[in-house]
Amino acid sequence: MTLGGSIACADEVISRPRFTDYSETLNAIGDTGGGSDTIDIESGNVVSATVSTAEQTFVFSNPSATGKSCSFTLLLTNGGSQTVNWPAEVDWAGGSAPDLTSSGVDALTFTTIDEGTIWYGFAAGLDMG
């Protein structure tokens, strides 16, 4: 069977799939320009953003319901060039946010199982390029 277009599963269970050559939706925020930006999980589980001119605050929205795991990866460019503020709900590995790269890309991963009450955050890779 070959399908084209999209299938809306409405948060229903799909059992025993086998995926080949799959992709995830990229939520490309682009240059944040300082201030506050919302990372909306419904817009994609891979997020890219660039920090450039001023202090930056990130907010996370629309995680999966309690009892379901929800994760996303943030590819953050030049995060160490400005102050970056994270939601208070982020529980960082080791107890504090990692030192971000001033000129390069950091890969950060966030996971929650309780609808965002706690986000477990960790650096998947720093100074990636």
Nearest CA to 28 among 8, 13, 43? 43
Nearest CA to 119 among 41, 49, 24? 41
- Residue 113 dihedral angles phi and psi, to the nearest 5°: -125, 5
User: What per-residue confidence (pLDDT) applies to 8?
Assistant: 83
Task: State which H helix or E strand residue 51 sits in.
Answer: none
The helix/strand/coil state of 95 is helix
Task: State which H helix or E strand residue 75 sits in.
Answer: strand 70-77
pLDDT tens-digit map of 31-89: 998 899 999 999 999 999 999 999 999 999 999 998 899 999 999 999 999 999 999 99
21 close to 41: Cβ distance less than 8 angstroms: no
Query: Is 103's pLDDT higher than 90?
Result: yes
User: What per-residue confidence (pLDDT) applies to 58?
Assistant: 97
How far apart CA 31 and CA 28 sit, in angstroms, is: 9
